[in-house]
Amino acid sequence: MARGKVLVTGASGFLGGYIFEELLSSGYEPRATDQPGSDFSIAEKLGIEIIPSNLLDYDSLIKAVKGVDAVIRLGAVFKIGRQRQLLFDVNVRGTENICRAALKQGVNRFVHFSTVAVYAHTETLPIDEESPKGPHDTYGITKLRGRK
């Protein structure tokens, strides 16, 4: 019996496959979501349920979140060449949307993946969540704003 159903947003991205393997080996039942038309081949190969959604489409997120115990929020736009507004929309408003959908559906746990790009340059290592913030690019700024 599975320990719980976990939705992974941004499932077709770099980390998705690693997260699926860890969830499966720990007894969880993953569900994958990402933009319609994304490459879900890793999730398909592992037999994981797939519900395409868009972080900017609240109704699609409600469907993706329904019946899950936890959400792992990986989905983001990070390419520096992307339009600044798209980074703000997905990384800030998209985070707000998935959080609202999770709350509405009664999700018990929410894990938000961010980036070291939210921190100021420092010689002090290791960096942790208490380290000074000071992003230097749009990606870091939007990821910092998306966590509030």
**Which CATH number applies to 5-146?**
3.40.50.720
Q: What is the pTM of this model?
A: 0.88
pLDDT value of position 75 = 87
111: left (phi over 0), alpha (psi -120 to 50) or beta: beta
CA distances from 141 to 1, 18, 96, 110 (A): 41, 26, 15, 21
Q: How high is the mean pLDDT in each 10-residue block of the chain (148 residues)?
A: 88 93 96 96 96 97 98 85 83 94 96 82 82 81 76
